[in-house]
A and B are shown apart, each in its own frame.
Chain A
């Protein structure tokens, strides 16, 4: 089998923010030395709560924002550091992005067909007939009738709009798609439809996904591998089955425990106390230490390094 199509090494993203009126600028580290791979035809589910840095990671991966340090390799091209811009230009047509909000990401004044064809128009060099054929083909691929190309976004439900967003992402036949919370804004009955569509497309077109979500059950239904993020750092990553069967990191365990199950007989244990720490003044050690039920003396002082605890199972925790 060929190597990974996405290789991320020691990736860091910092933002300058101003605190208060005229105060000195502070540095917010949204992504803190993370590393992972994505193999062709697979899905990495990136899970975390708000402010964990998962969306920033997604945007870094398709070159929407520049990295502060570290390395991103896409299709054997290094898009970070010197020569990164030229490398990104080479692979850009293979990358696409699906957004969370199917309302905000479609131009309300543009006919759906033109929205879908926008990547084609930007790439240029398509005949009118080919462009129209491609739009029809794309609509069919995502399960919408061809005739909807002439209609406007407001005529569609949230689920249908997300299908349109997916059709647009597929226009230039990408190989790697970042899906940032693509089903979070949808009703349950629509969620399942869109998840199944993404799975079908992966099978048919051999796509690879980075699937960003806060919902662990949604991630289980689509991912091949799962990475858990907390306050900018990756605390655990593993093949899906291993992660859900035997989560190692205390944060992953707490996160799984906190999810309400559709089972009235289940008794949930006491939830994790406290809240996600500010990443403006992160503790020197493990970011989770303050909330961790199993924290030890070393935890607040020394950052844990990821260790392998099984085949492809990495945990950043002093317990292991």
Chain B
């Protein structure tokens, strides 16, 4: 197999808080192949967004200790490349879109200016050429009437249109990897469907790899080929998407799937995961999901479990469940 496009090894990110250092991302490893769609799913505080921001070194410096681990891209460790080189990678090689398209766009610049900025910076285009390219890009993200829309300001656009503009900016330099952090969470469901279709089409047309971060298992099922489930700063399970939904291994994945309100059947009561997500500064000996886990064992409370292989291309951070699964085969 060819080397992956991006490989994150043992990434750990810590923040300073009033209660001391808190580990937001705890020894996370992941790999994205060329043209692959990786989904990262988790609830708030799972560390999924911090992982994404760290790949582009966009974490707030004063409160963050320099992440440890390695982020290998193109034969280099992104955690150690000089800032100037990192600026050349951001936007050109790896681009990112965020949840809220309103606060990610500059309200006093036209769409042409904002798409053009990326093109002028990375490709040295002049104003007129950049504007022409901006119109092409708006066409590509299927904004109707692009030649007119390009001169408008963000407030004139709906949420869905703004997210299309963000995508246009992100793909302006044909990046090899697009990181999309909850790109459809702020959108209505009919618009979400449009944006997911657009992202999938662009991925195919441009041959991009995509990391899609979301809390929504439905979005994961639609978009991702491989899925990584995070809980309280750690990866708890990785699997090909079909396998994950057919046969979740980790009890957290199980609970999460069961708790999703069902659209196609009536249920009297939804199964729930008891308790709530642990305080990130709390010291929990053993498995961090242990206090909520219906299958918790004595050993789980003593020792933090490692990720163990759970079948082809699968891993889960739950040795007892993996052992039980093996016994049933």
Contact = CB atoms under 8 A, between A and B. Distances in A.
Nearest to B160: A275
B103 interface: no
Given A49-B190, A271-B193, A272-B193, A262 B257 contact: yes
Interface stretch (B21-29, B68-76, B258-266, B320-328): B258-266
A217 B260 contact: yes
A262 B191 contact: no
Interface in B215-253: 215-222, 241-242, 245
B99 to A, nearest CB: 13
A21 interface: no
A270 B194 CA distance: 8
A189 B263 contact: no
B126 interface: no
A44 B221 CA distance: 30
A263 B245 contact: yes
B277 A187 contact: yes
A222 to B, nearest CB: 8
Nearest to B276: A157
Size bracket, chain A contacts = 35 or more
Interface in B194-212: 194, 196-197
A188 B263 contact: no
B192 A258 contact: yes
B93 interface: no
Contacts of A220: 261-263, 266
A257 B261 CA distance: 16
Nearest to A195: B270
A190 B266 contact: no
B43 A189 contact: yes
B309 to A, nearest CB: 22
A196 interface: yes
A168 to B, nearest CB: 20
Interface of A: 49-50, 157-160, 187-193, 195-196, 199, 214-218, 220-221, 240-241, 244, 254-266, 268, 270-273, 275-276
7 contacts: A49-B190, A193-B273, A216-B189, A220-B263, A265-B242, A270-B197, A271-B190
